[in-house]
Amino acid sequence: MHPTTPPAAQPAPLPGAQPPPQNTRDPQSAQLNARQRRTIAGGAIGTLMEYFDYYLYGLASAAVFPAVFFSSDSVFVAQLSSFATFAVGFLLRPVGGLVFGYIGDRYGRKLTLLITVIGMGLTTAAIGLIPSDATIGLAAPILLIIARMFQGLFVGGEMGGAATMVVEHAPVGRRGLYGALLISGAGIANVASAGMMAGLGLGPESFFMTWGWRIPFLFALVLAIIAVLLRRHLEESEEFTQHTRDVADKKVAATSPLREVVRHPKNAILGILIGLPQSIAGYVVLTFGLAFMVADGVPAQVGFIGTMIVGALQIVMAPLYGALSDKVGRRQVYIAGCVGFAVLVWPAFALYGTHQPVMIWLGMIIGFVIPGIAMQGTLQTMLTEMFDVEQRTTGVNIGYQLSNTLGGGLAPLIATALVGWASGSIWPVVVYVVVICAIGAVATATASMRPDTADAGRLNALEGARS
């Protein structure tokens, strides 16, 4: 086991490897108190909203928006245009990550979580109120793009704040498990968004394409109200509270979170690269996969139901992967997920080509549930362990949001273009996935992480760096 950083004024940077946590685990620390339960629930509801909004938009951009907002274009151009608006929403995610990361690191994670969840609810509901292009012409896609960009701004601050608060409150030695509950919230969002779209799609197509698809977007307001009620009683972690006291007592200097991240750029850069494979997994296998099926003559309803199945499995599998990472290490689980995604993406799309619903659902499971949730269930905890308390929200947001912008936001658009270039063949998409997975695995093996122990100390020797 690598030595932990000693206390006092000369902490040394930790080595790259992540020691196993079990030798320093306090048996009593595994029990959650009421404060921890509130924090985890408050974090999970925000992640549920984040993924509900984005899964919902992904489903709609694959199966609804081409006809509603780009009806004058050819089928292929309309699909590209729809996925382009999907990608646009990711452009402001890094900006939101920096803005709300600063607020979270300087003024508290709770304030960030309240602002972002309200903003997400309002902007998602606004999308459901935009008239079609048949009604208001070019103004319709323009309004869609504007609403989507604001949605991205608020989503940009969500995961960093939620992950930081939940992991900081989680018991030592079980941070992987409780951090993964955020992704269980994403699974609930998957079931809810796909379930609502599938249920509404059972009615007349004219109703669904005119009004039915809008109902889930308006439902985001209900989720926002629930999230605010859960989050208004959240308390900051002891680690953050102690840091705030130390700054007030001038024991440590008040610093700019972004400047501290830049002063230690290795993990910030690696965090972006690490996040790339998990960011494209769902958007390649599920979002682009749905468009791929529909273009091949498969009813969209089959994809909606498959997404619900994936979401239900995600609720269970995420904490299992998180608990596994507590035992064998975050790094090992995440790299295994990268390798699995690279290997399984081809069989997944081969199963889509059978046109058989059960085989298609099996393809979604082996293409996303097995490798994708292994990565998603591990990433947020791993990122929090790559940054110290005064820069943690900002550091997590930079890694998570930039990787989602460069990876997930462009993935459906890139995949659609690659398949068009290859005259319908899926092999360029497989190559794209393999390259991204290789980058993520190498970055994960290289990053420095705090061990999940009570005496882990600080990751960066900031005081020594200033002297």
Confidence at residue 466, expressed as pLDDT on a 0 to 100 scale: 37
Q: Which of 20-29, 216-225, 236-245 has the highest mean pLDDT?
A: 216-225
Task: Tell me if 182 is assigned to some domain.
Answer: yes
Confidence at residue 378, expressed as pLDDT on a 0 to 100 scale: 94
Does residue 5 carry a pLDDT above 50?
Answer: no
- Triad 380, 287, 303: Cα angle to 5°: 120
346 token code pair: 């081809």
Q: What is the pLDDT of residues 407-417, one digit of tens each?
A: 887 898 899 89
Does residue 137 carry a pLDDT above 80?
Answer: yes
The DSSP symbol for 24 reads: G
Q: What is the pLDDT of residues 415-437, one digit of tens each?
A: 989 998 998 899 999 999 999 99
Task: Tell me if 408 is assigned to some domain.
Answer: yes
DSSP letters, 396-447, are HHHHHHHHIIIIITTHHHHHHHHHHHTTT-SHHHHHHHHHHHHHHHHHHHH-
Q: What is the pLDDT of residues 441-463, one digit of tens each?
A: 999 999 988 887 766 666 654 33
Binning pLDDT at 50, 70 and 90, where does residue 363 land? very high
Average of per-residue pLDDT across 99-103: 86
Q: How far apart are the C-alpha atoms of 42 and 95, rounded to whole Å?
A: 23
Total count of domains within the chain: 1
Between 96 and 160, where is the model more confident?
96
Residue type, 63: A
Task: Tell me if 12 is assigned to some domain.
Answer: no
Task: Tell me if 90 is assigned to some domain.
Answer: yes
Q: Are 46 and 116 in contact (CB under 8 A)?
A: yes
- How far from chain centre, in Å, is Cα 70? 28
pTM of the predicted model, to two decimals?
0.77
Task: Tell me if 250 is assigned to some domain.
Answer: no
Task: Tell me if 353 is assigned to some domain.
Answer: yes
Confidence at residue 48, expressed as pLDDT on a 0 to 100 scale: 80
- Phi/psi region, residue 130 (left: phi>0; alpha: psi -120 to 50; beta: rest), is beta
Does residue 6 carry a pLDDT above 90?
Answer: no
Q: Are 407 and 91 in contact (CB under 8 A)?
A: no
Q: What is the pLDDT of residues 264-281, one digit of tens each?
A: 788 889 999 999 999 999
Q: Are 283 and 58 in contact (CB under 8 A)?
A: yes
For the chain, percent helix, then strand, then coil, each to nearest 5? 75, 0, 25
Domain of 331: which CATH number? 1.20.1250.20
Task: Tell me if 244 is assigned to some domain.
Answer: no
Enumerate the H helices of 300-410 as residue ranges.
Answer: 300-328, 330-352, 357-364, 370-384, 392-403
**CA nearest 25: which of 173, 187, 171, 220?**
173
Domain that holds residue 42: 34-236+255-452
Does residue 347 carry a pLDDT above 80?
Answer: yes
Residue type, 132: S
Residue type, 67: A
The DSSP symbol for 110 reads: H
